[in-house]
Amino acid sequence: MMIRKITALLVFVLIITSCGVKMIHSKSYNYKEGVDFNVKMAIDERKAYKGDLYDTIYVAIGNGSFKTLVLQFSNTSENDMEINFKEFILLDKSGNKYTPVAAAQEFIPITSVEKFTHILKAGKIRNFHIQYWPPFPKSEPIEKMMVKDVPILIEKYHLIRNAPF
């Protein structure tokens, strides 16, 4: 089990080093009472670790790239709160939905095929990297997402590091 986590971490680090990163200056959105989130970064990746049972690395073919969002959650309540990452869906301009397939906190995988939630402790602020599937149109910026079936417009972002491919 520990070897799988270390392998996943190494794969994630290798993927991050060969990708485009875009900073996003997002306003804060309400996830549930006492828990807010904002979008910190969007990452375009040519390769992705889907978190399946076979520890497979997938490569986006053609004009596609895997998207990873870095979301910062803030729990201002006095209670520990559960975050369900499956409730954060990306949308492209055509309205196609992209679902999360992996989530990590500080580059440590926290989700599995069976479990896609995380408990955010009371009074804590944490960043989570959420990877989406299938590949997104590479030239299309991330502008919309749905959280708990409520559409959200994401403010424009700017490129801070371009992918080497």
Helices and strands (DSSP H and E) totals, the chain: 1, 16
The CB density around residue 1, as the number of other CB atoms within 10 Å, is: 5
Q: What is the mean pLDDT of residues 136-153?
A: 86
pLDDT confidence of 142, banded at 50, 70, 90? confident
pLDDT score at 30 = 92
- Matching residue, tokens 């990306």: 90
Domain residues for the domain of 25 are: 2-161
pLDDT confidence of 159, banded at 50, 70, 90? very low
Q: How many domains does the chain have?
A: 1
* Inter-residue contact 113 to 72 (CB < 8 Å): no
Instruction: Give per-residue pLDDT as tens, 34-84.
Output: 999 988 888 888 887 765 666 677 888 888 888 888 999 999 999 999 999
What is the C-alpha separation between 51 and 48, in angstroms, rounded? 9
The CB density around residue 111, as the number of other CB atoms within 10 Å, is: 21
Output the domain CATH number for residue 8: 2.60.40
What is the C-alpha separation between 164 and 114, in angstroms, rounded? 34
What is the C-alpha separation between 46 and 28, in angstroms, rounded? 29
Instruction: Give per-residue pLDDT as tens, 2-42.
Output: 666 666 655 555 454 445 555 555 678 899 999 999 888 88
Q: What is the mean pLDDT of residues 112-125?
A: 86
Q: What are phi and psi of 113, to 5 degrees?
A: -60, -35
On the question of a cis peptide bond just before residue 134, with omega within 30 degrees of 0, the verdict is yes
pLDDT score at 65 = 87
